[in-house]
């Protein structure tokens, strides 16, 4: 059985990550991401997704990340206090991520997304994205998208305009 994301918010994040995956320059090179030059790196991929998750609720989301990404010395990998960081990477609203982290440390930070209400499958997808692996298989097919849309419609969470079906993500 195929595992793919079914939560529409997670599919939105996935579609944004897929756009970067499909258009990104080689690792270590700069390319355009949301109209800005960005280096294709683990740090930039991690920060890109975290900023999307936090969009509109920055303090709430970053405070949760701060709480769950504490190091043994008491500092957190995501924090407003960047004075101790070797490579503070700006997120948004005055928050920073310690960019001087190993892949394993970044993946440990990603574990926090389930505490924010995102699924374990999205966590794995986010892991793969940061690690530079393809995430295309996490996207539902058109047929699977139709089934997701039908379930949303049945629950009254989605109305069809003029009776026409819509595609979640092209």
- Residue at 151 is within a domain: no
- Residue at 51 is within a domain: yes
pLDDT digits (tens, 9 = 90+) for 17-65: 999 999 999 999 999 888 889 999 999 999 999 999 999 999 999 999 9
Residue 119 has pLDDT above 70, yes or no: yes
- Residue at 159 is within a domain: no
- Residue at 152 is within a domain: no
Residue 157 has pLDDT above 90, yes or no: no
Structure confidence at residue 151 (pLDDT): 85
- Residue at 145 is within a domain: no
Residue 170: CB atoms within 10 Å: 6
Query: β-pairing, 88-90 with 96-98?
Result: antiparallel
Residue 158 has pLDDT above 80, yes or no: no
- Residue at 64 is within a domain: yes
Structure confidence at residue 114 (pLDDT): 96
- Residue at 153 is within a domain: no
Helix (H, G, I), strand (E, B) or coil at 78: strand
Instruction: Calculate the average pLDDT of the chain.
Output: 90
Task: State mean pLDDT over 103-129.
Answer: 96
- Residue at 24 is within a domain: yes
Q: How many domains does the chain have?
A: 1
CATH of the domain at 100: 1.20.1380
Residue 75's domain comprises 8-139
């Amino acid at each position: 059985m195929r595992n793919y994301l079914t939560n529409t918010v997670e599919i939105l994040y996935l579609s944004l990550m897929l756009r970067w995956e499909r258009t990104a320059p080689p690792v270590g090179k700069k390319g355009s991401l949301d109209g800005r030059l960005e280096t294709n790196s683990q740090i930039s991929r991690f920060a890109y997704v975290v900023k999307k998750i936090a969009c509109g609720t920055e303090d709430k989301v970053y405070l949760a990340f701060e709480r769950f990404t504490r190091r043994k010395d008491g500092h957190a990998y995501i924090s407003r206090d960047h004075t101790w960081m070797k490579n503070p990477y700006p997120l948004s609203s005055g928050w920073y991520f310690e960019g001087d982290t190993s892949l394993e440390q970044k993946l440990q930070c990603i574990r926090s997304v389930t505490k924010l209400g995102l699924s374990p499958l999205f966590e794995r997808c986010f892991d793969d994205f940061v690690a530079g692996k393809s995430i295309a298989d996490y996207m539902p097919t058109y047929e699977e998208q139709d089934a997701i849309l039908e379930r949303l419609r049945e629950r009254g969470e989605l109305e069809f305009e003029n009776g026409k079906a819509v595609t979640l993500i092209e």
